[in-house]
Amino acid sequence: MFIRRLGISVAGAAGLVAAMGVTAPLQADTCAQSTTCSTTVTFTVTAEDGLTITVPGPTPAVNIGDAAPGGQISGQLGSVTVTDQRAALDATWVASVIAATGGFKTGTSTAPETIANSDVYYWSGPFTANTGNAPCTPGQADAAAAQSLDTSRTAFSKTSGSGDNSCTWNPTLVVHVPAAAVAGTYTGTVNHSVV
């Protein structure tokens, strides 16, 4: 009678384990006395949100200052950040910058009311924050290296390292105001991207 009750109890426990989807751990190895027994262990490192870039704006617009015709306007855009959460073996990237086609305009956008992208210069400056196992590199380290935004330029890059990383910089725009420019608030777009 005692054996019979024990058999029912064991069967009931086995059914409960099966219902819960719980399996007993498998024995990895059987080893003789004074020898090594090995268990293979795995785990997963996951990638999160991929490769992204964050920029100021677009609303409100960034006002970088003022100057008279023939003068120069210089001002910072605010923080630009590349965040790389791909957890890649080769965690390299290039951030590019260019002004939108058409230049910077005021009024009805006639020729005297337009400042061409070739008169608008960009320099990234050094990074203001950097995480990861290798540094990021500025496209234009100082004002002397500023480049016009009439074509795509490298703003920042990361050429080595692995795993997650991030890089932040505060770029400066320099506008050479043409002598023929008319008074007004000029508006245009600076586009950043990362690959």
pLDDT, greater one: 19 or 106? 106
Examine residue 141 and state whether it is found in any structural domain, yes or no. yes
Contact 122, 155 (CB under 8 A): yes
Report the candidate in 81, 82, 83, 86 with the shortest Cα–Cα distance to residue 50.
86
pLDDT value, residue 94:
98
Examine residue 160 and state whether it is found in any structural domain, yes or no. yes
Examine residue 152 and state whether it is found in any structural domain, yes or no. yes
Task: Tell me the whole-structure pTM to 2 decimals.
Answer: 0.81
Average pLDDT over residues 57-86: 96
The yes-or-no verdict on residue 179 having pLDDT over 90 is yes
In the sheet with 120-123, reading across from the earlier edge strand, the strands are 72-76, 172-176, 120-123, 147-148
Report the candidate in 149, 152, 140 with the shortest Cα–Cα distance to residue 194.
152
pLDDT value, residue 174:
98
The CATH number for 156's domain is 2.60.40
Examine residue 168 and state whether it is found in any structural domain, yes or no. yes
Examine residue 82 and state whether it is found in any structural domain, yes or no. yes
What is the chain's mean pLDDT, rounded? 89
Question: What is the number of domains present in the chain?
Answer: 1
Local confidence band at 4 (pLDDT 50, 70, 90 cut-offs)? very low
Percent of the chain whose pLDDT exceeds 90: 74
pLDDT value, residue 38:
84
Average pLDDT over residues 84-111: 97
Q: How do residues 14-41 score in pLDDT, each as one tens digit?
A: 454 445 555 555 555 789 998 889 888 9
Alpha-carbon 8 to chain mean position: 61
Average pLDDT over residues 94-121: 98
Examine residue 43 and state whether it is found in any structural domain, yes or no. no
Examine residue 20 and state whether it is found in any structural domain, yes or no. no
Examine residue 119 and state whether it is found in any structural domain, yes or no. yes
In the chain, at which residue ranges do the beta strands (DSSP E only) sit? Answer: 50-54, 72-76, 80-85, 93-99, 104-105, 114-115, 120-123, 127-131, 137-138, 147-148, 153-158, 165-169, 172-176, 190-194
pLDDT value, residue 27:
56
Structural domain that includes position 187: 50-194
pLDDT value, residue 1:
46
The yes-or-no verdict on residue 74 having pLDDT over 90 is yes
